[in-house]
Structure 1
Amino acid sequence: MANLVQELNSLDFSVYIGGPLQAAVKAQHDASISQVNFIKEVGFTPAVPASGSGSTAVPATPAQLRYVDFNYQKSVPNPSYDPTVSGSKPFNESSVNLKVPFLTMLTIPALRIDEMTIDFNAKLNSVETQNVSSEFSGNASLSAKFWKVKFNASASYKKTSSSTSTTERTYTLGVHVKAVNDELPAGLSRILDMLEDSIAAV
Structure 2
Amino acid sequence: MAIAEQFAGLEMDKLIGAPLAAAADASTSLANSTADFINRVGFDSTGKVRNVAFMYQKRSVNEDGTSNLDEMKVDVPMLAIVPIPNLQIDEVNVLFDMEVKQSEKKDTSFDMGASLTGSARIGFIKISVTGSVSAHSSNTRSSDNSAKYHVDVRATNHGTPEGLARVLDMMAANVAPSLVGSSLKDGNGQDLSESAKIRAERLKALRHDISQIETRLSAARDTFDGNVARLKKVAISQLNTYQAALSKKLSGLDETNEADQEKSDAYSQVMSEISAPWNNLQNQAGDLIKMLADSGETSDGTTVSELFGLKELNDDKADKYQETELYYKQLAAVQKAAVEAQGNVSRLETELFDKKAEYSDAIAGKQLPAQQP
Q: TM-score by structure 2 length?
A: 0.36
Q: Is the 8 A contact 2:83 2:160 kept in 1?
A: no
- Contact kept, 8 Å, 1:96 with 1:201, in 2: the verdict is yes
The one-letter code of the counterpart of 2:152 is H
Q: In 2, Cα distance between the equivalents of 1:171 and 1:33?
A: 37
Q: Is the 8 Å Cα contact of residues 43 and 66 (structure 1) preserved in structure 2?
A: yes
Query: 1:180 is matched by which residue type in structure 2?
Result: T
Q: CA deviation at 1:165?
A: 7.0
Cross-structure match for 2:81: 105
Larger radius of gyration: 2
The residue number in structure 2 matching 1:195 is 171
Which residue identity does 2:55 align to in structure 1? N
Alignment of 1:173-192 (within 5 A): 173-182=149-158, 184-192=160-168
Quote the residue 1:24 is aligned against.
Answer: 23
* Counterpart-to-counterpart distance in 2, 1:10 and 1:130: 31
Percent of aligned positions with the same letter in both sequences?
Answer: 32
What is aligned with 2:90? Answer: 114
Q: Which has the higher strand share?
A: 1
**Structure 1 SS opposite 2:152:** strand
Change (3 A) 1:34 1:164: farther
1:61-93 CA-partner distances (Å, limit 9, x unpaired): x22211111111111242xx22xxxxx23x322
The equivalences for 1:93-172 within 5 A come to 93-126=69-102, 167-172=143-148
Counting only pairs closer than 5 Å after superposition, residues 84-95 of structure 1 correspond to structure 2 as: 88-89=65-66, 91-95=67-71
| Aligned-residue CA RMSD (Å) | 2.7
| 1:128, distance to aligned residue in structure 2 (A) | 6.0
Q: What amino acid does structure 2 have at the position aligned with 1:190? A: R
Render the CA deviation track for 1:182-201: whole Å, top value 9, x for unaligned.
Answer: 26444322211122123221
Structure 2: unaligned runs, 5 residues or longer? 108-138, 179-373
Q: Structure 1 residue 72 and structure 2 residue 48: aligned?
A: no
Query: Residues 100 and 200 of structure 1 are in contact (CA less than 8 Å); yes or no, is this contact kept in structure 2?
Result: no
Question: What is the deviation of 1:4?
Answer: 1.6
- Give the AA of the match of 1:24: A
Partner of 2:299: none
* 1: CA distance, partners of 2:60 / 2:42: 33
Counterpart-to-counterpart distance in 2, 1:164 and 1:20: 41
The whole-number CA distance in structure 2 between the counterparts of 1:19 and 1:31 is 18
Matches within 5 A, 1:35-50: 35-45=34-44, 47=45
8 Å contact kept, 1:43–1:65: yes
Q: Report the equivalent of 2:211.
A: none
Helix, strand or coil at the partner of 1:35: helix
Aligned-partner residue type, residue 18 of structure 1 = G
Q: TM-score under structure 1 normalisation?
A: 0.63
Separation in structure 2 between the aligned mates of residue 183 and residue 65 of structure 1, nearest angstrom: 20
Q: Distance in 2 between the 1:77 and 1:16 partners?
A: 75
After TM superposition, give the deviation of residue 113 of structure 1 in Å: 1.9
Q: How far off is 1:167 after superposition?
A: 4.9
Structure 1 Cα separation of the partners of residues 31 and 47 of structure 2: 21
State the AA in 1 paired with 2:84.
I
Q: Tell me: CA distance 1:100–1:20, structure 2 relative to 1, closer, same or farther (3 Å).
A: same
How far off is 1:112 after superposition?
A: 2.0
After superposition, the C-alpha distances for 1:125-169 in whole angstroms (9 at most, x for unaligned) are 3456899xxxxxxxxxxxxxxxxxxxxxxxxxxxxxxx9976543
CA, structure 1 residues 165+29, in 2 after alignment: closer, same or farther (shift >3 Å)? farther
Determine helix, strand or coil for the equivalent of 2:49.
Answer: coil
Instruction: Answer 1 or 2: higher relative contact order, Cα 8 Å, separation at least 6.
Output: 1
Higher helix share: 2
Give yes or no for contact 2:41–2:79 (8 Å, CA) kept in 1.
Answer: yes
